[in-house]
Structure 1
Amino acid sequence: MEMASGSSLLRTLAIIILCYYLFKFLMRIFAPIIMQKAVNKMQEKMQEQYKKQQEQQQNTTTQSTQFQSKEKGKVGDYIDYEEIN
């Protein structure tokens, strides 16, 4: 079995540290952009849901108003049923 030399170990550690700091630097640049896009997308979804809810509420209100107006104008005959033995 071959032992790793000190220079290859240092080189590996240097690459790992360099990758870590590169990742950290890139996240400082791109994380706010990514977060802003995610927030905008969530905001759009919430607005769509709000609009759908408002439309549904208006439709329900309109339908109940129409039903009530039909009921008020409708006068029918009263039929008395008798029980037959």
Structure 2
Amino acid sequence: MQEASFLGLLKAIMWMMAFYYIFKFLAKIFLPVLVKKAVEKAGENFQRQQQYSQDTSWQKTRTSQDEIIIDTANVKNPRETKKVGDYVDYEEID
């Protein structure tokens, strides 16, 4: 059976501190690069989705030089509000 020693504790604390500072140093170097790449990729995905949305909702077909036909079949119709019931005002009876 091994006993815990004071020097072993100090070595463990020193290794933890060294790992912490090395990780902190490397994070300062590489984290901004990784975040920049992630933001650029998210922006590209957003632009691609916007372009796809515009292309599917407003398809323009050119039949001649003066005539443009716009297909609005994919445009959502406004929902109708349904009347569910009548309002009943209750009075409290003593």
**TM, length-normalised to structure 1:** 0.67
What are the superposed Cα offsets for residues 45-84 of structure 1, whole Å, 9 maximum, x if unpaired? 00001110111122287224xxxxxxxxxxxxxxxxxxxx
Runs of 4+ in structure 1 displaced over 3 angstroms?
none
- Partners of 1:7 and 1:63 lie apart in 2 by 79
Structure 1 counterpart of 2:33, which letter?
A: I
Structure 2 counterpart of 1:2, which letter?
A: Q
Q: Which residue of 2 aligns with 1:12?
A: 12
Structure of larger gyration radius: 1
- Partners of 2:36 and 2:30 lie apart in 1 by 10
Structure 2 counterpart of 1:38, which letter?
A: A
Number of equivalenced pairs: 64
Structure 1 counterpart of 2:52, which letter?
A: K
Alignment of 1:1-85 (within 5 A): 1-59=1-59, 62-64=70-72
Higher RCO (C-alpha 8 Å, min separation 6):
2
Structure 1 regions of 5+ residues with no counterpart?
A: 65-85
- Partners of 1:54 and 1:12 lie apart in 2 by 59
Structure 2 regions of 5+ residues with no counterpart?
A: 61-68, 73-94
Percent identity, aligned pairs only? Answer: 34
**TM, length-normalised to structure 2:** 0.61
Name the one with the larger helix percent. 1
CA-atom RMSD, angstroms? 1.7
- Partners of 2:13 and 2:34 lie apart in 1 by 30
